[in-house]
Structure 1
């Protein structure tokens, strides 16, 4: 076989290749790309199945070989599920010729990759990307066909990885499958700014979808008119109308800077400049944005606290409602000692819990790879 591991991440190219970063990406695309680079540094043969954006088939970035599946706009409505999506994905999987295939996020791709692996006798690793992936009644999958394919994929996965203990519990309770909790990787900065050197009081970074509730950020900004709020993100699937509406509202607030989509390669500088990071979503998994904030000493205020880690480790505040979020943000910005303690605790937590070699261990076990030593 040509490769040890193949990541099936059709939307990964904007993170992997800077020249495509205008296309936008989410947290799971970041995680797959960071994981692929970490494995390359340890000497593994890594490839990735991505969408066709005009790049050459077999193009290599950072040691990761990419195989094109299909063009995003290709196909005829009603038929494109079969061709080019199913056929394109399977063709790319075949060209990758890997021992193990890795796919994340609930949806039909999990089933398509599982069928391929069963036919070719290859190993399949699935990792959740959201709490909803473990709860059938909250599954963010529109079509019954795709939900059945997802369930087929879960049944035939050789290993399932989850983001948190609560996801592990729900995967077992709702689907009857055991899983292993696996942490996430993050790009580390060289240093973190002091409080006085940060010029963004409150930062929001997310895709514009209804479940992300960007309207709550606007409401928060209106309650704290003396603070500088910055909003970053592009329209998610079906989210253009919401994007336009929130942009209009943001532009009516003198204390809100609306930046729209910022490429992943450039967004970390905004985390470095922020005093507080806010997540307003109704549903998440373990957001990559939390890690990007904490490693730069930015406390996180949110409604979603995976396994109560924010409350237990003093990494910001877990709010119960918008009033609680307002009070938490106001307190962190007004009380320098409170902010400093949360900032230092966040950096210490990341240093102790997110060592790359330790994070990789469950992934290597799932992929049946031996632990390698990263190249210097």
Structure 2
């Protein structure tokens, strides 16, 4: 069976030589899943953007078919050419049995139309809580929202990140879905607490809803604690990036590292004692899994399905003052930190082993094929 992952920003995760910008969590998830399927004997390919790479080049057993450069085409007209035409051409060259999309975007609709026309299966996975709510979709144009919803409704199998998304999706669209946990790269090393030299780590794309300004405020309220921020400039958010970069320079206890390549950021997770998330809303952040795999407790305003509180994987404070208090206590109290750290590792070993995590994905792929054969 051949499976094709459609993610235009996936190539920099698979091929580090093309990593010239920030990488989002869903690109990581698609690539990890693609690698896992290759290891289990599936034929796997991906449809990606044009980064200047040769077409149909193969990395780690995964063939990449390119579409278009991000800036290609004329405004308004580029929706049809090259975006629609190049996407369909790449899907045709991929010639897969099942196509896999994730995140709310107009390309979900384009892929769905292709699959219906050519009798191929489609699996779609939600990547953010807003993907399940038509009033909160992070999509700019009405046309693109309609295309996303068209594709969502026509997917053969729909996956989501947690039961909250599952309930919201059913309430808003009447669609049933299956919860599928996320894969995570295993760390190369596990450092003891005494070997970790980064007290507090914040890693995220610099966008408004990630609320990076709260990390700045946290540093102001915790002058005796060292905070390290990682996040590169995002399209449309250059002013926010400059604002955060400038504010960080005024705080001696805050190190702003800017963009750090995905393949290098693991070293920072290894060295961290506490991971902090200040987002207003999320899906299920990869950063949580990367932290817990290394025994790093997470302190976050956002707590997917109440998991952090229920499993004791850190803390979910309700205010910036409470966040500062919780972090200070965890950093200072070695016994409490070690207990939380062990709970993080235990949870990951129990819930996020590859064989356990892959079951709903494999079932969704097989189900999509069966539906198309009927």
Shorter-chain TM-score tier: over 0.9
* CA contact 2:21–2:232 (8 Å) conserved in 1: no
In 1, distance between residues paired with 2:347 and 2:323? 22
Give structure 2 stretches of 5+ with no counterpart: 369-374
2:70 corresponds to? 72
Q: Report which stretch shifted further, 95-104 or 195-204.
A: 195-204
1:304 counterpart SS class:
coil
Deviation per residue, 1:217-239 (Å, 9 max, x gap): 01001111111111101122311
Match of 2:129 in 1: 131
Matched residues in 1 for 2:331 and 2:235: separation?
A: 34
1:140 is matched with which residue?
A: 138
Q: Is the 8 A contact 1:209 1:237 kept in 2?
A: no
| 1:246 matched to 2:212 | no
The offset of 1:29, in angstroms, is 0.3
What RMSD in Å do the two structures reach over aligned CA positions?
1.1
1:15-94 equivalent positions in 2, closer than 5 A: 15-94=13-92
Aligned to 2:328, which of 314, 327, 330?
330
Secondary structure in structure 2 of the residue aligned to 1:151: helix
2:22/2:234 contact within 8 Å kept: no
Tell me the CA shift for residue 328 of structure 1: 1.2
Match of 1:215 in 2: 213
Once the two structures are superposed, residues 306-356 of structure 1 have per-residue CA deviations (whole angstroms, 9 ceiling, x without a partner) of: 111100111000111212211111111111111111111001100111010
CA shift for structure 1 position 196: 1.4
Deviation of 1:18 (Å)? 1.1
Distance in 2 (alpha carbons) for counterparts of 1:367 and 1:128: 15
Q: Normalising by the residue count of structure 2, what TM-score does the alignment of the two structures yield?
A: 0.97
Q: 2:284 — aligned with what?
A: 286
Match of 1:107 in 2: 105
Question: Where does residue 185 of structure 1 map in the other structure?
Answer: 183
Report the secondary structure of 2:358's partner residue: helix
Could you list the runs of 4 or more consecutive aligned residues of structure 1 that deviate by over 4 angstroms after TM superposition? none
CA distance in 2, matches of 1:187, 1:33: 10
Residue 135 of structure 2: SS of its match in structure 1? helix
Equivalent position of 1:363 in the other structure: 361
CA distance in 2, matches of 1:193, 1:100: 41
Q: Confirm or deny that 1:194 pairs with 2:192.
A: yes
C-alpha distance in 1, partners of 2:301/2:236? 24
Deviation at 1:369, TM superposition (A): 7.9
Give aligned pairs, total.
368
Mean alpha-carbon deviation: is it higher for 131-140 or for 211-220? 131-140
Report the secondary structure of 1:23's partner residue.
coil
Please name the residue that 1:373 is paired with.
Answer: none
3-state secondary structure, aligned to 2:127: coil
Instruction: Please give the alpha-carbon distance, in whole angstroms, between the structure 1 residues aligned to 2:98 and 2:191.
Output: 41
Distance in 2 (alpha carbons) for counterparts of 1:237 and 1:368 = 37
Pick one of 225, 228, 238 that aligns with 1:227. 225
SS at match of 2:257: strand
TM, length-normalised to structure 1 = 0.96
Is the Cα contact below 8 Å between 2:186 and 2:293 reproduced in 1?
yes
Listed one character per residue, the Cα deviations across residues 150-207 of structure 1 (whole Å, up to 9, x for unaligned) are: 1111111000000001001111011110000001000112432111111111101000
Residue of structure 2 equivalent to 1:170: 168
Distance 1:319 1:175 in 2: 32
Deviation at 1:266, TM superposition (A): 0.6
Q: Secondary structure at the match of 2:20?
A: helix
Q: Deviations over 1:35-57 (max 9, x none)?
A: 00010111110000000111000
